[in-house]
Amino acid sequence: MTEGFAEPEKDGRPGLQAVAAVALFAVVVGALWAQKEFVHQKDSSTGPAACSKGGDRLPARYVSGAALCAALNRPDLPALLGTTNEHVETADGNGEWLTLAGGKKIAEPEATVTLDTYSVKLTASYDDMTVSEAGSLLGDARRTTVLGRPAIVYSSPTISIGFSLGGGKATTGPGGTARCMLVSGHGKDDGKGTLEVAIWRQDDVPPDDTALARVAEQVLPAVPGWNGH
């Protein structure tokens, strides 16, 4: 018997990484991450999971993974996703440095929550790329606005990871598709930071863009500093 989940590919945006030499959305995928997630998973009889503690290694001037998790792990998240009868099963946040080719480091705090049907990730990135520039590098990006701020919506592949409950090795393979919404962290698209919401389904069915928009509109104003710009 195996346990499995999907994560957006770490190199899901090679165009951005190769052409712009920065990453807007990096996801660490591996056994250590998975083990941590399973430790924090709660039995369905105990109710929604609380955000795990720890995992922040960034200076205080950056939003913490814990703060992102608190913004994302909201009581109405299942309803926003259209899965009213479900509840959050795991919730985790961390603040790490993303090291680019050449050694440059970018602060990349993130939080992830999982439900039975959906997983949702909220990421803050402190690079110099504007939303408009990102959109020009992504072939399928659709330009839009979120709460009056510049945004794009695009797709990213996921990796399916399975673990044997008997202690066997992990297996990986192609998963479904994540839908991602990248939003300027400020009223203007000034390249001084972005926030990104991504959703994907455990059953590999294409995610609902309407659900993505609902989550972004409710979650982003709860991120510290959103209303200050």
pLDDT at 166: 63
Considering the chain, what percentage of its residues have pLDDT values greater than 90?
A: 56
| pLDDT averaged over every residue in the chain | 80
The share of the chain scoring above pLDDT 70, in percent, equals 72
Please report which confidence band the pLDDT of residue 34 belongs to, taking 50, 70 and 90 as the band edges: very low
What's the total number of domains in the chain?
Answer: 1
- The Cα-based distances of 97 to 33, 81, 166 in angstroms read 16, 30, 33
Residue 27 near residue 121 (C-beta atoms within 8 A): yes
Calculate the CA dihedral of residues 158, 205, 215, 115 and round it to 10 degrees. -80
Residue 35 confidence (pLDDT) above 50: no
* pLDDT value of residue 111: 96
| pLDDT of 17 over the 70 cut | no
- pLDDT surpasses 70 at 164: no
Least confident of 15-29, 102-116, 192-206: 15-29
Instruction: Give the burial class of 220: count Cβ atoms within 10 A of its Cβ; 0-12 exposed, 13-18 middle, 19 or more buried.
Output: buried
pLDDT confidence tier of residue 190, bands split at 50, 70 and 90: confident
- Among 16-30, 56-70, 147-161, 179-193, whose mean pLDDT is lowest? 16-30
- List the domain range (segments joined by +) for residue 111: 2-228
Sign of the Cα torsion 167, 164, 31, 108 reads negative
Contact 123, 98 (CB under 8 A): no
Res 25 pLDDT > 70: no
User: What pLDDT sits at residue 30?
Assistant: 29
Structure tokens at 110: 């993130």
pLDDT band per the 50, 70, 90 thresholds, residue 1: very low
Beta-carbon contacts of 191 under 8 Å, excluding residues fewer than 6 positions away, are 127, 128, 129, 130, 133
Residue 209 pLDDT class (50, 70, 90 cuts): very high
* Helices and strands (DSSP H and E) totals, the chain: 6, 10
Kindly tell me if the per-residue pLDDT of 16 is higher than 60: no
Is the confidence at residue 76, as pLDDT, over 60? Answer: yes
Task: Supply the pLDDT for residue 167.
Answer: 62
pLDDT of 95 strictly over 90: yes
- Integer Cα distance of 213 and 207 in angstroms: 11
User: By the 8 A CB rule, do 154 and 119 touch?
Assistant: no
